[in-house]
Amino acid sequence: SAVISQKPSRDICQRGTSLTIQCQVDSQVTMMFWYRQQPGQSLTLIATANQGSEATYESGFVIDKFPISRPNLTFSTLTVSNMSPEDSSIYLCSVESGGMRSGANVLTFGAGSRLTVL
Amino acid sequence: AQTVTQSQPEMSVQEAETVTLSCTYDTSENNYYLFWYKQPPSRQMILVIRQEAYKQQNATENRFSVNFQKAAKSFSLKISDSQLGDTAMYFCAFMSGNQGGKLIFGQGTELSVKP
């Protein structure tokens, strides 16, 4: 299965600032997915990033708050803009990759980026 | 809209014993996939097991197996011979066959394996 590297691993941010999270995959993938995990909660899909087109956002998430770039088939960034304490979460990048024998529709996740907004 | 429910926020089991984690889901679709992921304190999401809805046979992966009851929309995870390294948060998740990449997660069950 794919190996995903995310940076930063964690960060402490000031209210009103923006932070960009990077996601690097060791193989070319068509789609990359960004998830958010709020404290004590499960994961929620923010958006799907396709190379060469605008990201597709899920209900409740907007491009102005979470702009995404997808410059090539192995890399994506997610920016959390104008942060408030409510944005304190773990942000995870994921891709579909082989696993569990047949592999279809299996998501592999990065280790996540833990953001704390003061 | 699809939903996934895990009714056990916390569970504990003695090392070497067997434990079953419950999960129910709701969907009107016929083509979908179900997953169990574990998230240890390192927070890395790790796939435990996967089930295609069209397969009647329950998936197994070594000590992990599922009891998939499609009519009842139930998808429980059985961990046999529990090990200390199984201590983690376990998430049940649903993926529509038409929406690759979009996992809908349950609230999670925190499992502690005690020596």
Determine the pLDDT at residue A82: 97
Which residue is associated with the tokens 């046979």? B57
Amino acid, single-letter form, for residue B109: T
Which residues does A102 contact at the CB level (< 8 Å), separation at least 6? none
Angstroms from A68 CA to nearest CA on chain B: 16
Three-class secondary structure of residue A86 per DSSP: helix
Q: Which tens digits make up the pLDDT trace of B55-72?
A: 889 999 999 999 999 999
Give chain B's mean pLDDT. 95
State whether B45 and A92 contact (CB < 8 Å): yes
| Of residues B77, B86, B84, B102, the one with CA closest to residue B27 | B102
Comparing CB atoms, the residue among A45, A100, A108 nearest residue B50 is A100
Q: For residue A74, is it left (φ>0), alpha (ψ between -120 and 50) or beta? A: alpha
Which tokens go with B108?
């999670």
| Among candidates A33, A94, A106 on the partner chain, residue whose Cβ is nearest the Cβ of B50 | A106
Task: Check residue B56 and give its pLDDT.
Answer: 87
pLDDT in tens, A37-58: 999 999 999 999 988 888 999 9
pLDDT value at residue A98: 58
Q: Cβ contacts of residue B3 below 8 Å, gap of 6+?
A: B25, B26, B104
On chain B, the residues whose CB falls within 8 A of the CB of A92 are: 45
What pLDDT score was predicted for residue B35? 96
pLDDT of residue B28: 92
pLDDT higher than 70, residue B89? yes
**Cα angle: B106, vertex B52, B36; to 5 degrees:** 30
Closest to B66 in 3D by CA, of B85, B46, B52, B54: B52
Backbone angles phi, psi at B86, to 5 degrees: -80, -10
B35, B97, B101 member nearest A31 (Cβ)? B101
How far apart (Å, rounded) are the C-alpha atoms in residues A34 and A6?
11
Instruction: Decide if pLDDT at A15 tops 90.
Output: yes
Q: Do A114 and B43 touch (CB under 8 A)?
A: yes
Nearby residues of B26 by Cβ (< 8 Å), 6 or more positions away = B2, B3, B4, B5, B73
Check whether B101 has a pLDDT greater than 90.
Answer: no
User: Encoding tokens for residue B103?
Assistant: 């996992």
Answer yes or no: do B61 and A100 touch at CB < 8 A.
Answer: yes
In angstroms, how far is CA A96 from the centroid of its own chain? 13
Which residues from A are below 8 Å from B64, CB to CB? Answer: none
Distance, CA of A95 to CA of A3 (rounded, Å) = 9
- Whole-number pLDDT of residue A2: 87
Q: Chain A residues with CB inside 8 Å of B107's CB?
A: 41-42
Q: What is the pLDDT of residue A103?
A: 54
Shortest CA gap B111–chain A (Å) = 14
Question: How close does chain A come to B17, measured CA to CA in Å?
Answer: 25
A62-106 tens-digit pLDDT: 999 999 999 999 999 999 999 999 999 999 999 987 554 445 678
- Tell me how far the alpha carbon of residue B40 is from its chain's centroid: 14
Encoding tokens for residue B88?
């983690």
